[in-house]
Copies of this chain bind each other. A is one copy, B any other.
Amino acid sequence: DGFFGRWQRRNATGTLPHCIAQLQVSGALDNLRLVTGEATGEFRDMWFADSDVHKTLEAAAWQLTSNPDDERLRAFVDATAALLVKAQGDDGYLNSHYTVVKPELRWQELHYSHELYVAGHLIQAAVAAARAGVGDDLVAVARRCADLLVDRFGGADAPPGIDGHPGVETALVELFRVTGHRPYLDLARRMVDRRGHGVLDGERFGSAYLQDHVPVRQAEEVAGHVVRQLYLLAGVVDVAVETGDEELFDAARRLWDDAFGRKTYITGAQGSRHRDEAFGDPYELPADRAYGETCAAIASVHWNWRMLLATGESRYGDELERALYNAVAGSTSEDGTNFFYSNPLHLRTGHDGSHEDAPSQRLPWYSCACCPPNLARLVASLHGYAATTDDTGVQVHLYSAGAVRTAAGEVVTRTRYPWDGRVELDVTGPVPFTLALRVPGWCAEASVRVDGVPVDVRAEDGYLRLHRDWSDGATVTLDLAMPVRVVTAHPHVDAVRGCVALARGPLVYCVEQVDLPAGVVLEDVRVDPTAAFEPTGLPGVPVALTAPAATVPPGDDALYRTDVPEPAATPFRLTAVPYFLWGNRSPGPMRVWIPTTTTG
């Protein structure tokens, strides 16, 4: 019944059924039925719409690990797997667009086709099915597809075989992990190494967009299309870890430093430009035109998770948590059936919401529907990110009520996190082991007690480690001090100069028009950064924040002016709500970064 549990229930009852229904409406399933002869008509939707099917299938497979008795879900998985079995060619090829619309161009336009990207999502669905124990058929389909890729692109003289949209790399490594079949890993490594030599046709979008402008090992900055860059980097880490390639891993670290040190929003969103859905220059982080694609935030979770597993360093968990609780969580409506594709940090008064890339409120579906099923698969697998186990014991990375059962021992967690910083863990285990508890980077003061007795332990790499005999069971109480933080940005972030953001625990807050007194224009609000911000409750908002604030009118309509005296400020009490909840009560202006009274 914790935060994750509720999120997963909403996903199971809202998002996932919605996605399944949309697959029918959009034509994505019918496209595959065109291949099998079960449908007639034209190909519909995006040329890579098969990936929506695969992602939804992956979500359903993960969901079945939580709800193994969900018959409707199992029926969807079985029927869809059967459709894919039937739609797959004898050689293993499975792509409805190229099969139906332009079979003669199969593998001929990899810069554009998404064929390997789609194959990657097929493989990911199969990996999920294998781990959920629900889809031998799917694994067989994915292996036939992967074998075809190895056959075509794995040989010494094979063509480069890289896709304009990365994604298949991490899928191949995952399939290697499930099957132990080394050629999948070898192919993923080849793909990583062949990228960056300008082999893709970059005429329309440029080679950075396609992640083909520089070899990964030499790259100094994240660049180009954000989702492409991050999907690639997840695969890079997978390859580096499985092959022990330190040079490659160092490249991932270097690019991480650039991405999270200079090109990430406070919500964890990434992508500063609508044009090309791209990273911007260092510190180019406009709040209003933040692109922050939902899929990019999901990809950030994937990449950070891999970095965390590879290093055990909490800072990767920090960025995973930042993206998860803010950018990812905020992308979905409270009922789970409406979504943001882009995730701005400021919706202006007077915003023109007529563009699908910058709507004024969440929409039920998109012409490019990559995000909703991507959300469904992430949230359905969310429990997998809470904790890990290794030889030393159990590591808890994310705190949510629930139970972790491993060979080493069992950890049952009670907490209201992220609303409260107290986490109680009932720990048992047959032999002594180390319980490692992540102390988030935002937390300046963490304390821990075992059965009520304070323990003097310091975090290393961001983890508090308790090694003991848990055989009699013990209750560990972790207290993460969670004061309201008044955050400023690096001064090179021009877009939010003179502004502060409010945060508490992992949550970033925002101000919505709906909480302002009548007649107050959002852009006129000023906060005193030294004011006492107090937690409070609002209907539907477990912890809102309030503080004295002021509204200051522009004073003059002139766009550019000299010598305009500062108009009088009118005090009022400001309420801020968690960013991830914005737009649920009433669509309207919103902003994360609030100008201060000292700047004007």
A106 contacts partner chain B, Cβ-Cβ < 8 Å: no
Beta-carbon contact of B288 and A284 below 8 Å: yes
Please pick, from B208, B213, B559, B595, the residue contacting A262 in the complex, using a CB distance under 8 A: B559
Tell me, in angstroms, the Cα distance from A385 to B260 when the chains sit together.
Answer: 51
**Restricting to A246-295, which residues have a CB under 8 Å from any CB of B?**
260-262, 264, 266, 273-275, 280-284, 286-289
Instruction: Give the Cβ gap from A10 to chain B, nearest Cβ, in Å.
Output: 29
Q: Is the CB of A558 within 8 A of B499?
A: no
Q: Which residues of B contact A2 (CB under 8 A)?
A: none
Known: A273-B274, A491-B600. A283 touches B560 (CB 8 A): no
Verify if A439 is at the interface (C-beta below 8 Å from B): no
Contact yes or no, A206 B354, CB < 8 A: yes
A54 to chain B, nearest CB (A): 27
Residue among A280, A357, A491 with the highest chain B CB neighbour number at 10 A: A491
A552 to B497, CA, bound (A): 14
A488 at the interface (CB under 8 A from B): yes
In angstroms, Cα B347 to Cα A304, docked, is 31
Residue contact A595 to B497, C-beta cutoff 8 Å: yes
User: Does A346 count as interface, using CB distance less than 8 angstroms?
Assistant: yes
A565 to B355, CA, bound (A): 42
How long is the Cα–Cα vector from A487 to B557 in the complex, in angstroms?
14
CB distance from A343 to the nearest CB of B (A): 16
- A288-B494, A348-B283, A352-B223 as given contacts; A560 in contact with B523, CB under 8 Å: no
> How far, in angstroms, from A350 to B493 measured CA to CA in the complex?
13
A281 x B350 contact (CB < 8 A): yes
Report how many residues on chain A are interfacial, defined by Cβ distance under 8 Å. Answer: 64
Is A554 close to B, CB under 8 A? yes
Residue contact A261 to B488, C-beta cutoff 8 Å = no
Answer whether residue A485 sits at the interface, using C-beta atoms and an 8 A cutoff: yes
Interface residues of A in 482-529 (CB under 8 A from B): 485-499, 501, 523-524
Which of B485, B491, B501, B564 sits near A523, CB closer than 8 Å? B491
B287 touches A559 (CB 8 A): no
Task: Give the residue among A348, A490, A554, A558 with the most B Cβ atoms within 10 A.
Answer: A490
**Residues in chain B near residue A280, CB distance under 8 A:** 288-289
- The docked-state distance in angstroms from the alpha carbon of A346 to that of B501 is 24
A108 within 8 A of B: no
Identify A487's interface contact among B213, B354, B494, B561, CB under 8 A: B561
A392 at the interface (CB under 8 A from B): no
Asked whether A487 lies within 8 Å of B289 as measured between CB atoms, the reply is no
C-alpha gap A349/B493 in the complex (Å): 12
Pair A352/B281 contact, Cβ less than 8 Å: yes
Interface hits, A286-326 → B, CB 8 Å = 286-289
Give, as a whole number of angstroms, the nearest-CB distance from A341 to chain B: 14
Question: In the assembled complex, which residues on chain B have CB atoms less than 8 Å from the CB atom of A523?
Answer: 283, 491-492, 494
List of B residues within 8 angstroms of A264 by Cβ = 559
A170 vs chain B, min Cβ distance (A): 26
What would 10 A/B residue contacts be, using CB atoms closer than 8 Å? A221-B352, A280-B288, A280-B289, A282-B349, A284-B348, A488-B562, A489-B561, A491-B552, A494-B496, A497-B599
Beyond the given A261-B559, A281-B351, A491-B595, could you list 13 further A-B residue pairs with CB under 8 A, ordered by the A residue number? A273-B289, A274-B275, A275-B275, A281-B288, A281-B348, A283-B523, A488-B561, A488-B564, A490-B561, A492-B554, A494-B495, A497-B497, A497-B599
